[in-house]
Amino acid sequence: MAGVPLRRREGFRALLWLSPWLVGFGVFFAYPLLATVYFSFFNYDLFSLKFNGLANYRYFMQDERAWLSIRNTAWLVVVMVPAQVLFALGVAQLVTKLKSGVGFFRTLFYLPSLVPVTAGTVAFVFLLNPATGPVNRILSLVGISGPDWFGDKDWSKPGLTLLAMWSVGNIMVIFLAALLDVPRHLYEAAAIDGAGAWRQFRSITLPTIRPVLMFSAVTGVIYTLQYFTQAMIASRVAAGVTDAPGTSFVPGYPEMSTLTLPQWLFQTGFRDYAMGYACVLALVLFAASMAFTLILLRQFRGFEEVAE
Amino acid sequence: MRFVPLAAAGLAVLTLAACTAGKEGGPALGSQSKPSGTAPTALPAASIELWHGFSADSEVKAFTDAIAGFNQKYPQIKVKLVKGVQDEQITQAVRGGRPPDVASSFTTDSVATWCKSGVFQDLNPVIKQDGVDLSGLPPVVNDYTQYEGKRCVMPLLTDAYGLYYNKALMKGKQPPKTLSELTKLAKELTVRNPDGTIKVAGFIPSGQYYENTAGHWGAMVGAKWTNPDGTSAIGSDPAWKTLLNWQKELVDWYGYANLDKFRKSLGDEFSGKHPFYQGKVAMGIDGEWRVAMIANEAPKLDYGTAPMPVDDAKPDLYGSGFTAGTVIGVPKGAKNPEAAWALVKYLTTDTDALVTLANAIRNVPTTKAALESPALKKDEHFQTFLDIFANPKTSTIPAHVNSVFNQEALQGFITSWEKGSVKDLDAGLKGVDKTIDAKFKLSGG
């Protein structure tokens, strides 16, 4: 080893230490990504590969359902994520202001996030059933004719948003911890300077909890771009279709309003066996994840500069 | 930023989880030399696995009983049954190189894909080798068990669809034979609450109601799904337009919102709360299997069965209906293909086995011998479906590589249509054609 320069030896050592990550990156990220790109140029029914050039991409341009699913997913990202974050922040803020029963309310708001996704979604659809659900019955008692929720294309996504807000406990707990970490003396100093509640929130709370806000926004967007389970279950329950042998079900009930891009990807790849085309959809999803995350990071950077 | 690659990697892994070619696990069917007419005992001892879709206890028991008959004939072959299996599981198992020896599907939707991609082995060589006579199968059954000359599955049992009517609600009226008679009777039998909501529906014309699928309905008007070249015939066959105009008129008579609210208040299709049992629906389209369900879940129900009403302009269609059934075959890579074929042959051609299964599950057997067997339980309700199955005009959805996609494309359109979201029916149906044809082209059609 005497002849090997120190720098090169250190380089080898660094690579050695990094090797588990490099192997993981290669196997679980680089290879799947490259393979996705490769298969996107083929007609691949899971058994036979036939090169078809750009046919999958051309089909994507005319696939109305794909574009519909993209619009639905974008709706959820634009409405559901902010609704979740703001609601979680509001609830956390509320819990910090409580004089007593903090433990009780913290548990109460956190509990829904412990409910299994499937059970929670099924229960929600039953609660919001227009004919037999209690929500619309209560609404009718006060003279409001409740909507058809998961049976109406205009109300299904708001219904899913309500479900997401109900199970916001995880983010709420993180916000709660962040809010409790804001130094008290900053508020006291601001109060002496005459700052009101809103000014204190805007100039002290928000900048301090910025990393947590960014974390919840970025993870929320990525999670929502992959939104699958709740939409699939809600549409199945609302449509009254069970997943039994011999049945076929197209996601998106009612009228494709709950069809998200991951559901369409799954349907295309694993139900219609058009895996080459599903790879195109996966790449679109990947590009969307990148774009949204970059935009968010840029926004938060700007926010940081303003705050400073 | 770290989340993005992680998320992307996860997604990419999910998408490509099954991107390696399926492995060959066993010899191909027919590749092992076996003289025609070999005695059962000549087959070597083996343990084979059969995946099927049945899940109800009574159905699983019936299947086990049928296998017991096989074991008497082939005591050296042990059969392990796996219940409640869906098509995707079969496909993935073949891809993963761990397929069962025998697999059965409840639907015929995947047959074309399975035949084309070789998920199931071509049975023609062994059918020929063993001299199995398939001439007794109706042409419609041939349509759904083979694709482009490859017979990769055999018909096990079949379903036939017809009209069920509640005799008490009918008040002595005869079941309708034409769509206009159905409309008239549906209106007469409908009872509304004082506020205008539906109390009893004569007939629910919504395409979202239980067995009201485009496939089942198409038989009422003799509608065609595809052209000989595999492209969609939905936009060019006027029968679909006739069907949808009939449907819309009746939906509008109820009022879509009213009908939708009523539909959503109804009990589960596969439970004792089925609205037909409860007298909330007077007439409905259903499969022959409902006869057994009614016997179990609503034995006191006074009902009748009849062929589906048909297009007024095509009265000769009356007596026919829709049929599609359970299929069974030997997946690629089966470890014991010869033993597997022996089981498939037994279950699909042995009259005792078919009759045992048909009697227990109350499905229609597919072979002529089984249909004519005196051991086959027949009653007035069930006989209707045996007759529908035997009718030469009875139709099915022909095997197509995008069968599920095509059905869903039309079904989705019907949902929009009945709601009133479609203004131009012709243009809408042409749009369905366009969707189906583009996908067909993508699939290499």
| Structure confidence by residue, pLDDT tens digits, B380-400 | 999 999 999 999 999 999 889
Separation between Cα atoms, residue B153 and residue B150, nearest integer Å = 9
- In the predicted structure, residue B5 carries a pLDDT above the cut 80: no
- In the predicted structure, residue B17 carries a pLDDT above the cut 70: no
Q: Is B430 on the interface with A (CB under 8 A)?
A: no
Q: What is the pLDDT of residue B33?
A: 54
Q: Write the burial class of residue A166 (CB in 10 Å: 0-12 exposed, 13-18 middle, 19+ buried).
A: middle
Residue of A47, A62, A151 lying closest to B260 (CB–CB): A151
Q: Which residues of B touch A50 (CB under 8 A)?
A: 444
Structure tokens that stand for A240 in this block:
């009254």
**Whether the Cβ atoms of residue B220 and residue B212 lie closer than 8 Å to each other:** no
Q: Which of A121-135, A246-260, B16-30, B87-101 has the lowest mean pLDDT?
A: B16-30
Name the closest residue on chain A to residue B326, using Cα atoms. Answer: A246
| Portion 7-36 of A in contact with B at CB < 8 A | 28-29, 32-33, 35-36
Q: Could B9 and A29 be called an inter-chain contact, meaning their C-beta atoms sit closer than 8 Å?
A: yes
Residue of A32, A64, A245 lying closest to B9 (CB–CB): A32
Name the closest residue on chain B to residue A294, using Cα atoms. Answer: B1
**Whether the Cβ atoms of residue B125 and residue B151 lie closer than 8 Å to each other:** no
| Other Cβ atoms within 10 Å of B293 Cβ, number | 20
Parts of chain A with a pLDDT under 70: 1-4, 242-248, 302-308
φ, ψ for residue A51, nearest 5 deg: -60, 130
Q: Which residues of A touch B270 (CB under 8 A)?
A: 242, 244
Which DSSP helix (H) or strand (E) runs through B283? strand B281-287
Name the closest residue on chain A to residue B5, using Cα atoms. Answer: A29
The rounded percent of chain B whose pLDDT value lies above 70 is: 91
How far apart are the two ends of chain B, measured CA to CA in Å? Answer: 42
Q: Is A300 on the interface with B (CB under 8 A)?
A: no
- The mean pLDDT value for B86-115 works out to 91
ipTM of the complex: 0.78
Q: Which of A155-164, B51-60, B215-224 has the lowest mean pLDDT?
A: B51-60
Q: Which of B3, B15, B271, B405 to mutate to test the interface with A (most CBs of A within 10 A)?
A: B15
Q: What is the pLDDT of residue B13?
A: 47
| Portion 117-176 of B in contact with A at CB < 8 A | 117-119
pLDDT tens by residue, B136-173: 788 889 889 999 889 999 999 999 999 999 999 999 99
**Whether the Cβ atoms of residue B282 and residue B151 lie closer than 8 Å to each other:** no
- In the predicted structure, residue B8 carries a pLDDT above the cut 60: no
Query: Amino acid letter at B202?
Result: G
Q: Which residues of A touch B408 (CB under 8 A)?
A: 248, 250
- The mean pLDDT value for B257-286 works out to 92
Largest CA distance in chain B: 75
- In the predicted structure, residue B28 carries a pLDDT above the cut 80: no
Q: Which of A247, A273, A33 is nearest to B118 (CA)?
A: A273
Residue B7 pLDDT class (50, 70, 90 cuts): very low
> Please, which residues have CB within 8 angstroms of residue B214's CB and are 6 or more apart in sequence?
B207, B407, B410, B411, B414
Q: Could A255 and B443 be called an inter-chain contact, meaning their C-beta atoms sit closer than 8 Å?
A: no
Provide the residue count of chain B.
445
Q: Which residues of B touch A254 (CB under 8 A)?
A: 415
Partners of A49 in the β-ladder: A44
Q: Could A248 and B404 be called an inter-chain contact, meaning their C-beta atoms sit closer than 8 Å?
A: yes
Q: What is the pLDDT of residue B36?
A: 45
φ, ψ for residue B299, nearest 5 deg: -60, -20
Q: What is the pLDDT of residue B11?
A: 47
Separation between Cα atoms, residue A273 and residue A270, nearest integer Å = 5
Residue of B1, B5, B119 lying closest to A47 (CB–CB): B119
Residue of A239, A240, A272 lying closest to B404 (CB–CB): A272
- In the predicted structure, residue B377 carries a pLDDT above the cut 50: yes
Q: Could B261 and A131 be called an inter-chain contact, meaning their C-beta atoms sit closer than 8 Å?
A: yes
- In the predicted structure, residue B2 carries a pLDDT above the cut 50: no
Q: Tell how strand A49-51 and strand B46-51 pair up.
A: unpaired
| Portion 218-237 of A in contact with B at CB < 8 A | 218-219, 222, 225-226
**Whether the Cβ atoms of residue B99 and residue B334 lie closer than 8 Å to each other:** yes
Q: What is the pLDDT of residue A4?
A: 67
Name the closest residue on chain B to residue A262, using Cα atoms. Answer: B11
Q: What is the pLDDT of residue A254?
A: 85
Q: What is the pLDDT of residue B19?
A: 42
pLDDT tens by residue, B392-433: 999 999 889 999 899 989 998 999 999 999 999 999 999 999
φ, ψ for residue B321, nearest 5 deg: -170, -155
Give whole-number Cα distances, A149 to A238, A243, A264, in Å.
9, 22, 22
Q: Is A241 on the interface with B (CB under 8 A)?
A: no
Measure B117 CA to nearest chain A CA, in Å: 6
